[in-house]
Amino acid sequence: MQLIRTIEQDEATLVGYGIRVLFLSAQQGLEGNIPRRLAGLGGVIELHNELFAALEAVIDDPAGYGVFVIDCDSLGGLEVGRKAVAMMGETLRRVPAILISAECREQSFPQDRMAPTLLRAPLSAVSMRVGFEHALRDRLSIRMIGNDYQAA
């Protein structure tokens, strides 16, 4: 397991400030495009390189993660990501999933909480931000104003 945190930035510009991201990729480091973009959104990234270890982590502690991001291409394709999401079961209600793959012909932002957000690789900064905001739409609808919380 590796953790990455971006350099200090203005909290107001970071849509995912402090959100713990479980990132599943067969790549051994966090030097790639996807982790860099996630960190740029303010996410605290926890890397897992093995599918079942990542699933165990997110299923055992769903309250501990804000989003589960899967680099499908590094694991063997989009179908592997879809199977991983299916194995999550009811955990998807608490931890949204984002699947990233070159096999994805068009990006998908489903309204169903149990369906993953699909993003096409190679990933642009704009598509990562839109996908991240969509996956976290329930969390982002509450904004802190002073010491009071108010629905946006």
Q: Which domains are delineated in the chain?
A: 2-151 (3.40.50.2300)
Residue 25, helix vs strand vs coil: coil
- The pLDDT-based confidence of 136 (bands split at 50, 70, 90) is confident
- CA 84 to chain centroid, in Å, comes to 14
Q: Which residue has the higher pLDDT, 99 or 13?
A: 99
**Least confident window among 4-18, 24-38, 61-75, 100-114:** 4-18
What is the C-alpha to C-alpha distance for residues 8 and 20, in angstroms, rounded to an integer?
16
Who contacts 6 (Cβ-Cβ below 8 Å, separation ≥6)? 39, 40, 42
When pLDDT is averaged across residues 85-91 and rounded to a whole number, the result is 92
Strand boundaries in the chain, DSSP class E: 2-4, 20-24, 44-48, 67-71, 97-101, 117-120, 142-145, 148-151
- Res 103 pLDDT > 70: yes
